[in-house]
């Protein structure tokens, strides 16, 4: 007698490519991507300056004209938003990070240029003091080297308003100070920036995966100590939910988990607990590991990039900040 099989064979729907596409539970498109870009000074006469970043192969700092060119590229690829991070010259870095409040700093120059050239592309701006401080911390430090919360938050409010006045679409505080979301939201409303969004780095962990980013913004080697008194302990998950709840109550429109792949469990829990748009930042160390694996012949870039990005979507992300954004968009047909 012929052995009987169950009525359902799960391999049926996987047997052909068209059927796999038809039954895909998760979809990844260029519209799910945010492209982080680094801004550097350019010649006063204009023109594009590119500064490759050794620890982020394939990623460069760009002068404002180059950032505009990347903005046009994002538009043509179907990437809806870019994120800006400045490389501040050492002579402009101070203990109090006051360059963050300069209405003509690199960030503001790039925002204005982008909104003038490609207004249909969203501009997300980082709110934190580490690109501007001489000590490399995200906030102001006291005599003991402790990052003080409330005076830092006041600086962040001024920084956020400076960026909003320049035309930023999304303000993204990455500092992890308590209470800063509510203060920034109130200030934006009072200044008639009613439609400027806040994407809070709500669950940002003190991570070993940020090294190449610090090269990109020029803060590596400046940092005294670490950031564990304000960024989250990687042992904690329930605390992440408390952080997210606080930021949503204070007026965040969306929240972010950072880093990405090592914290997929946090993404899942945040999405399930709050049912709000959740974003992940596939950070510099994650990008660098993929590129190192490719350089060593241990992996194939295209499939690895798409598989990792799909994992974020599958975990519940509305979108992903990734340095592979342009490459992924090309693969996805953007």
Active site residues: 204, 258
Contacts by residues 304-307 (CB-CB < 8 Å, ≥ 24 positions apart): 305/331, 306/28, 306/331, 306/332
CB of 168 closer than 8 Å to CB of 140: no
CB of 86 closer than 8 Å to CB of 42: no
167-to-65, 145, 196, 258, 320 alpha-carbon distances in Å: 17, 34, 9, 25, 22
Going through the chain in order, the beta strands assigned E by DSSP cover: 33-39, 50-52, 60-62, 81-86, 122-127, 170-173, 197-204, 254-258, 278-282, 319-322
Measured between alpha carbons, how far is 282 from 207 in angstroms, rounded to an integer? Answer: 12
Pull the structure tokens for residue 198.
């806040």
CB of 189 closer than 8 Å to CB of 164: no
Tell me which residue of 156, 154, 176 sits closest to 164, measured CA to CA: 156
Centroid of chain to Cα 177: 17
Count other C-beta atoms under 10 Å from residue 248's C-beta. Answer: 18
Tell me which residue of 259, 282, 258, 278 sits closest to 268, measured CA to CA: 278
CB of 206 closer than 8 Å to CB of 263: no
Count other C-beta atoms under 10 Å from residue 190's C-beta. Answer: 9
């Amino acid at each position: 007698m012929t052995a009987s099989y169950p009525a359902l064979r799960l391999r049926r729907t996987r047997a052909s490519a068209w059927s796999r596409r038809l039954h895909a539970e998760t979809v990844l498109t260029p519209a799910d991507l945010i492209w982080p870009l680094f801004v550097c000074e350019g010649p006063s006469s204009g023109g594009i300056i590119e500064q490759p970043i050794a620890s982020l192969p394939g990623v460069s700092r760009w002068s404002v004209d180059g950032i505009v060119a990347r903005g046009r590229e994002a538009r043509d690829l179907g990437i809806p938003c870019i994120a800006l991070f400045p490389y501040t010259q050492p002579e402009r870095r101070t203990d109090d990070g006051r360059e963050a409040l300069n209405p003509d700093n690199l960030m503001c120059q790039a925002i204005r240029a982008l909104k003038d050239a490609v207004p249909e592309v969203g501009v997300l701006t980082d709110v934190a003091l580490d690109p501007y401080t001489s000590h490399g911390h995200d906030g102001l430090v006291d005599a003991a080297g402790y990052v003080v919360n409330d005076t830092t938050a006041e600086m962040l409010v001024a920084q956020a308003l400076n960026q909003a006045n320049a035309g930023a679409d999304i303000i993204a505080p990455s500092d992890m100070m308590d209470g800063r979301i509510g203060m920034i939201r109130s200030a934006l409303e009072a200044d008639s920036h009613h439609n400027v969004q806040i994407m809070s780095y709500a669950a940002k962990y003190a991570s070993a995966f940020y090294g190449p980013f610090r090269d990109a913004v020029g803060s590596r080697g400046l940092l005294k100590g670490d950031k564990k008194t304000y960024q989250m302990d990687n042992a904690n998950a329930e605390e992440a939910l408390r952080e997210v709840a606080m930021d949503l109550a204070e007026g965040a429109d969306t929240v972010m988990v950072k880093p990405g792949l090592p914290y997929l469990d946090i993404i899942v829990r945040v999405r399930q607990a709050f049912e709000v748009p959740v974003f992940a930042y596939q950070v510099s160390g994650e990008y660098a590991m993929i590129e190192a694996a490719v350089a060593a012949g241990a992996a194939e870039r295209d499939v690895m990039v798409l598989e990792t990005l799909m994992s974020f979507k599958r975990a519940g992300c509305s979108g992903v900040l990734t340095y592979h954004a342009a490459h992924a968009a090309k693969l996805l047909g953007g």
